[in-house]
Amino acid sequence: MIVSMIAAVAENRVIGKDNDLVWHLPDDMKYFMETTSDHFVIMGRRNYESIPHKYRPLPKRTNIVVTRQSDYEAPGCIIANSLEQALALAEEQQQEEVFIIGGEQIYAQALPKADRLYLTEVKAAFDGDTFFPVFDRQQWHEKWRQPHPVDERHAYPFDFVLYERKPNHS
Residues 92 and 129 sit within 8 Å (Cβ to Cβ): no
What local confidence, expressed as pLDDT, does residue 169 receive?
57
What local confidence, expressed as pLDDT, does residue 25 receive?
97
100, β-bridge pairs: 5, 42
What local confidence, expressed as pLDDT, does residue 57 receive?
97
Closest CA to 120 of 24, 45, 2: 24
Would you kindly state where each structural domain of the chain is located, as residue ranges? 2-165
CATH 3.40.50.720: does it fit domain 2-165? no
Using left for φ > 0, alpha for ψ between -120 and 50, and beta otherwise, residue 76 falls in left
- In whole angstroms, give the CA distance from residue 169 to residue 151: 38
Cβ burial, residue 41 (10 Å; 0-12/13-18/19+): buried
User: pLDDT tens, position by position, for the chain (170 residues)?
Assistant: 999 999 999 999 999 999 999 999 999 999 999 999 999 999 999 999 999 999 999 999 999 999 999 999 999 999 999 999 999 999 999 999 999 999 999 999 999 999 999 999 999 999 999 999 999 999 999 999 999 999 999 999 999 999 999 987 55
What local confidence, expressed as pLDDT, does residue 168 receive?
77
